[in-house]
């Protein structure tokens, strides 16, 4: 059974987090041993990792798709690589809908070899910053400014997959949300060589949902980010339904949601990722189509291109 993210992960000085610190220390020790005992494999093509240290909901997949399209414009032949997880089919379908080169592999090293043998000259890892078997030429770490680093603790005390010190191995930080100088200072204190960029989601089909009473569905890492986006676009959300990340809906659940919406005269709205889980149920539900926009886009692409070339 999947569970939603614990609320205490985003609350500082929470008693539950403090009680779990011994387990967090064990977790950090295991990471330390892994890093020391594993020799990263180097490849013949550049590896660009789009990762995070805050677990889930930071925008890795939209950023990977954005990079894929921009690198294509540079005349390259990139592939997006995701580690195969059976219950992540929503992300797999989303990426396939947005790109022509998705490689799924149970082992990322094997996946990169497939990319090399298939003629790709670049691999974009959608997730993988914590895969220490792979030498990355460029590490882009994603944050959402709504959560930043939560309570600042690593698992299970908090939502971090690694401590902030791991940013020493990053090259670019991409923050989804408004500029936050205080957060930037925390990041730069760890690694003053980092380039920090900001992004936002632009809603493309917002008029479909304008002046409607909405029933909003989200089964993503941080569902409140989706609801906040709706509110920022002045949409009227009457009811919110939250499910765990990668939740697998069944047809009867969807029919019940549709019945409730019809009875209350609500229009259903969901994320695009969630839509791909239920599109085969032969329904007329719709999703909010969004596009990732990166501020100072030219500078961002220049940084990617330069590091790409330096590591070729």
Q: Residues 136, 125: contact at Cβ < 8 Å?
A: yes
Instruction: Look at 175 and 100; give whichever has higher pLDDT.
Output: 175
Query: What pLDDT is recorded for position 86?
Result: 86
Residue 146 sits in the same domain as residue 94:
yes
Residue 134 sits in the same domain as residue 46:
yes
| DSSP-assigned letter for residue 50 | E
Tell how far CA 126 is from the center of its chain: 8
Query: What pLDDT is recorded for position 1?
Result: 42
Residue 139 sits in the same domain as residue 226:
no
User: Which residues share a beta bridge with 54?
Assistant: 160
Report the percentage of the chain scoring pLDDT > 90: 82
DSSP for 100-147? S-EEEESSHHHHHHHHHHTT-SEEEEES-TT-TTB--SEEEEEEETTT
Q: Residues 69, 134: contact at Cβ < 8 Å?
A: no
Residue 300 sits in the same domain as residue 181:
yes
Residue 186 sits in the same domain as residue 234:
no
Residue 120 sits in the same domain as residue 52:
yes
Residue 89 sits in the same domain as residue 195:
yes
Give residue for tokens 């760890």: 190
* Distance from C-alpha of 255 to C-alpha of 293, rounded to nearest angstrom: 34
CATH no. for residue 258?
Answer: 3.40.50
Cα four-point dihedral sign 271, 275, 278, 281? positive
Model confidence at 286: pLDDT above 60 = yes
Strand order in the sheet with 236-242: 236-242, 213-218, 267-271, 286-288
Q: What is the pLDDT of residues 194-211, one digit of tens each?
A: 999 999 999 999 999 999
Residue 94 sits in the same domain as residue 223:
no
Query: What pLDDT is recorded for position 282?
Result: 63
Query: What pLDDT is recorded for position 88?
Result: 87
Residue 298 sits in the same domain as residue 258:
no
End-to-end CA distance of the chain: 44
* Distance from C-alpha of 275 to C-alpha of 217, rounded to nearest angstrom: 10
Predicted confidence band of residue 279 (pLDDT cuts 50, 70, 90) = confident
Residue 145 sits in the same domain as residue 170:
yes
Model confidence at 287: pLDDT above 60 = yes
Query: What pLDDT is recorded for position 196?
Result: 98
Give pTM, 2 decimals.
0.94
Is 265 inside any structural domain? yes
Range of the domain at 213: 205-288
Q: What is the pLDDT of residues 41-99, one digit of tens each?
A: 999 999 999 999 999 889 999 999 999 999 999 999 999 999 999 888 888 989 998 99
How many independent structural domains does the chain possess? Answer: 2
Q: What is the pLDDT of residues 179-195, one digit of tens each?
A: 999 999 999 999 999 99
């Amino acid at each position: 059974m999947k569970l939603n993210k614990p609320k205490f992960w985003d609350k500082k000085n929470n008693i539950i987090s403090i009680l779990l610190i011994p387990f967090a220390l064990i977790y950090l020790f295991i990471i330390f041993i892994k890093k020391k005992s594993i020799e990263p494999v180097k490849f013949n093509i550049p590896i660009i990792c789009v990762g995070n240290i805050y677990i889930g909901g930071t925008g890795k997949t939209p950023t990977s798709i954005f990079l894929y399209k921009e690198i294509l414009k540079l005349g390259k032949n990139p592939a997006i690589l995701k580690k195969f997880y059976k219950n992540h089919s929503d992300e797999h379908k989303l990426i396939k809908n947005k790109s022509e080169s998705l490689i799924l592999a149970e082992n990322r090293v094997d996946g990169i070899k497939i990319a090399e043998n298939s003629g790709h000259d670049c691999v974009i890892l959608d997730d993988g910053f914590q895969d220490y078997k792979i030498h990355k030429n460029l590490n882009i770490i994603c944050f959402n400014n709504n959560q930043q680093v939560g309570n600042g603790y690593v698992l299970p005390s908090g939502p971090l997959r690694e401590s902030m010190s791991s940013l020493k191995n990053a090259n670019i930080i991409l923050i989804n949300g408004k500029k936050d100088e205080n957060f930037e200072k925390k990041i730069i204190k760890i690694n003053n060589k980092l380039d920090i960029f900001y992004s936002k989601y632009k809603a493309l089909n917002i008029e479909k949902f304008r002046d409607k009473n909405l029933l909003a569905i989200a089964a993503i890492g941080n569902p409140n980010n989706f609801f906040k986006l709706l509110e920022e676009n002045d949409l009227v959300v009457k009811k919110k339904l939250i499910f765990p990340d990668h939740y697998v809906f069944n047809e009867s659940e969807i029919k019940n949601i549709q019945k409730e919406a019809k009875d209350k005269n609500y229009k259903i709205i969901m994320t695009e990722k969630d839509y791909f889980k239920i599109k085969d149920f032969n329904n007329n539900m719709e999703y909010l189509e969004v596009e990732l926009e990166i501020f100072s886009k030219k500078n961002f692409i220049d940084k990617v291109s330069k590091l790409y070339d330096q590591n070729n």
